[in-house]
Each structure stands twice: as structure tokens, then as C-alpha cells.
Amino acid sequence: MELKNKKITEADFFKEREQVLASWHTGKDPALDFSVSLEYLRKIPEEKNFAMKLIKAKNEKITMIQPRAGVPIVEEHIKLLTYLQNCGADFLPSTIDSYTRQNRYLEAEKGIKESERLGRALLNGFPAVNHGVEGCKRVFEAVNLPLQARHGTPDARLLAEIIHAAGWTSNEGGGISYNIPYAKSVPLDVSLKHWQYCDRLVGFYEEQGITLNREPFGPLTGTLVPPSISNAIGIIEALLAAEQGVKSISVGYGMCGNIIQDIAAIHALQNQTERYLEKFGYKDVIVTTVFHQWMGGFPADEAKAMALIAMSSTVATLSGTHKMITKTTHESIGIPTKEANGEAIKASKFVTKLLERQFAVESEALIFEREQIEREVDSLIKFVLEAGKGDLAQGVVKGFEQGLLDIPFAPSKYNLGKVFPARDNEGSIRILNFGNLGFTEDIKAFHRAKIRERAMNENREISFKLTVDDVYSVSKGNLIGRPTKEGSGK
């Protein structure tokens, strides 16, 4: 069937569902029958429903906290989530393991058995498909907070079926954000179709009176991604989800480092997502924002790492975002201990409480940056729609083929990879090399001028060295990768 941004008919959805549920033995669980799952989901109290709690955060103008976490054994995963709940998390995650993300359930099964045999985690997350509805329900019923699957899966159809039937009321990802930054060889039209199914599943539950949340993954590659690129992709995924009937959408953003740019980006993301949904006729969608703490390289020193977490929390709260995803002081080492994860939650929560209902003042600089981001997003989406001759899904595929959309440092062969970012003299992320990005000439001129200003200030040439220096700068304690005193940086 040709990819189009059109709601999947109920008949086509049920036909595809038969194939999805037959793809692994846990898909045969009677708990996946809609008569069973609907009854279960209707009994979930509001305080354990992701969508309902996000509405609370939005109405009360507060920033809630969610960590990342996941281990392979159900009992150990419950212990981990209970610990993080007791540390003050407002939402709980289940980070899914790499085998499940690639639909390699047999290897995941072996990983579970080896983890049980050796008494330590041999998978880097929770294999929800292998544990099935029963295992996922055990996790959900053991905690008192809303639960979300966080992963990186181009084909999350069976995963989505299982976690939602088990009471997990949010699923992160999208056909772009869980393909291009994560996979090398998955065609975009394939991942977009698979995520249309995930969204149609949520839309089907919505039609039965069950509101589930969907969250496109905002940070993408997490490395110097210009706000307009990540915002445009988040908005596109929100529109694709809304077409399938999703009514609760959280659009995400990864911290870039310049406070004005970060706050402006969150404001632009909220405003433009709502504006585009309204423009395309989706008038009853609740939009919330998600701020990801610094996603780039972390300092090895734990005190410095905690300072970076505190700064991230400050910017997130001042931006008025509704949910913040935390990092830990172990980011430069590997998978964090539960203690390190808990400390980061406590530190982040402390900052958000101190700053509660304090927001950034609308300065000239903030307004200028927000309007600049919005102009760039409008340009990108306009080019994408033109490439697809009015069809957004087709436009995404053609847009990436032509480089109109291009994510820096993404591994996918379906990403042109010609866009290179660099910071300007104030630390805002600009674009050094545009490739074929869907920007108008006046937008390109703005970026060139900002990069030129920095290069002149540092007395060095405009080159890829700017990008390289900026990739490593924060882990070394500087926002901008300035040249060393020994050389000019040429």
C-alpha cells in the first residue's frame, strides 16, 4: 500500500493487526483482545494515566520530572522503578533494550535467561515484548505513577500493542525520530507506515474513550541539532499522529546550551505545534512540551556533571516546559546506578521546586530568537509539503531524499548528512553547511552572518573545525569550542 498521510481504515488496521500479533508468541496473549485491554485501561485511575497527568502539569504551570531507566528482569525492573518513584519522579520510564528495538526477540530471550543465570543485567533495557502483557502489567501494577515505553524502535507495532494493553499510557517515538537517528538501513516509508500503525492503535483506543499519550523523540541525534530542525520534525510527527486520531501529543526538545535559544525553542515548539494542528483541522489535540537535559558529552567529574544537570533543570523550568527528562552524573561512564539516577531526580526536582511558576521574561532577544526559529520551521515544513505535493508523509520521504530535511550526525543512509552545525559567538546553534536544507536565502544569510561574527572574534577560518570544537566543548566546561591559546584554530 502506498504511503499517504491518511487515517488507516478500521478494516485495514485490523487486517494488519493480525500480522503484527502473530510476529512473536507473546502477541497471542488473550489480554491483547480489545475487549480485555479496554476493560483494563478503563479502570486505570487518572493519576496513573500519562495524558491526564500532563494536563495537570500544563494547567498548574509546573515542570514534572521523568528519568530514563530499564533492566531486563521484571523483579529487578520493579525494584529500580520503585526506587526512582521514591526519589521523587513524577513519571516513570521503561527504557527498552537494543535487541527489542531491532525486533530481535530471540536474542532478547537469550539475554533474559543469561541475566537470570548470572544475576546481572546482560541487556541494556527492559525487553517488553518478550515479557508480554503479563510481565508489563506486573511492572505497571507495582508502581503508583504513569508508565511510558522509551526506546528507539523503527517498527514498534507489537511493542505498542503489548505496553498499552498492560496499562502503559504513553509511547515515545515516531517514524522519523525513531529511525533516522537510530537505524542505518530502514527505509523511511517503511518506518512511517509502522508508526502510522502505532498512532492508529492509540487513535482506536481514543475512539473507545481511552486517551493515551504519544511523544515524538525531540533531541534526535542529541548533538548540536539546530532547534528549527528538531522542532520541524516534532511538529511533522505530531501532525502524522493527529491524522491517525491521537489526542495527547508531547513534543520534545533537547537542550542546546544557550539559555535564550533554549527557552525560545520551547516557546516556539508549543506555539507552532498548536498552530499547525489547528491549521490542518486537528482542533481537539492537547499539546505539551518535553525538555531533555543536556544530551551531548558530559564531564567525567561528578560535581561538574551535577552542575550541568542543575543548569538544565533551571533552563527547563524557566521555559515553562511541562516535563523534563533527566540525565545522571554517570553519563560519561555508561549505564548509571540506581543511586546516581535517584540523585539526579532529587537535584532536578529541587531546582524545579525553587523556580516553580517563575518564567523567563519576554525580552527583545528572546522574542527575536523565537521568531527566527518559527521562520525556519515554517520554511522547512513548506518545502516538505511542496515536495510531497501536499501530502505530508510523502513529503517527508522526498524531503529526506532531496536533503530538504537533514539531521546532523544521523547514521541513516536515508539521511543526506550534508548539514553541519556550529555555535555562534553567543553559543546559539547555527548552521555552518546547509547542504540542500529547505531554507530560504534570507535565513541562510542570517546563519552565515552569525558564524562569520564568531570566526572573526576568534581570528580563525570558517571551517568544520568549529563543529568539532563545539561537539567536545561542554564536556570540557565551555559552551563554545574556542581555539586554544597555543593556536588560532586554523
CATH number for the domain spanning 297: value is 3.20.20.240
pLDDT score of 357: 86
pLDDT score of 489: 45
Give the count of domains, the chain.
Answer: 2
- List the one residue out of 248, 257, 158, 278 whose CA is nearest residue 475: 257
Write down which residue in 339, 354, 369 finishes a domain.
Answer: 354
- Helix 464-473 vs helix 441-458: crossing angle, to nearest 10: 70
Q: Which residues pair with 289 in a beta bridge?
A: 251
The residues that are catalytic are 101, 172
Write down which residue in 354, 370, 397 finishes a domain.
Answer: 354
pLDDT score of 105: 98
Q: Are 417 and 464 in contact (CB under 8 A)?
A: no
What are phi and psi for residue 451, nearest 5 degrees? -70, -40
The Cα–Cα gap between 342 and 33 comes to 37
pLDDT score of 485: 66
Instruction: Give the mean model confidence (pLDDT) for residues 129-158.
Output: 98
Q: Are residues 23 and 129 in the same domain?
A: yes
Is the pLDDT confidence value at 487 over 50? no
Q: Are residues 303 and 222 in the same domain?
A: yes
* Terminal C-alpha separation, the chain: 52
- List the one residue out of 449, 411, 437, 94 whose CA is nearest residue 223: 411
Q: What is the pLDDT of residues 456-468, one digit of tens each?
A: 999 999 999 999 9
Q: Are residues 74 and 214 in the same domain?
A: yes
The Cα–Cα gap between 381 and 228 comes to 10
The verdict on residue 63 lying in a domain is yes
Check: pTM over 0.85? Answer yes or no: yes
Write down which residue in 354, 384, 402 finishes a domain.
Answer: 354
The Cα–Cα gap between 382 and 387 comes to 9
Domain that holds residue 84: 10-354
The verdict on residue 380 lying in a domain is no
Q: What is the pLDDT of residues 111-137, one digit of tens each?
A: 999 999 999 999 999 999 999 999 999
pLDDT score of 189: 98
Q: Are residues 279 and 142 in the same domain?
A: yes
Please give the share of the chain, as a percent, with pLDDT higher than 90: 96
Q: What is the pLDDT of residues 169-192, one digit of tens each?
A: 999 999 999 999 999 999 999 999
Q: Are 317 and 310 in contact (CB under 8 A)?
A: no
What are phi and psi for residue 362, nearest 5 degrees? -75, 90
Q: What is the pLDDT of residues 395-446, one digit of tens each?
A: 999 999 999 999 999 999 999 999 999 999 999 999 999 999 999 999 999 9
- Would you call 452 helix, strand, or coil by DSSP? helix
Q: What is the pLDDT of residues 294-334, one digit of tens each?
A: 998 899 999 999 999 999 999 999 999 999 999 999 988 88
Compute the mean pLDDT over every residue in the chain, rounded to the nearest whole number.
97
Instruction: Give the mean model confidence (pLDDT) for residues 209-231.
Output: 98
- Beta-carbon count within 10 A of 353 CB: 13
- List the one residue out of 284, 218, 294 whose CA is nearest residue 256: 294
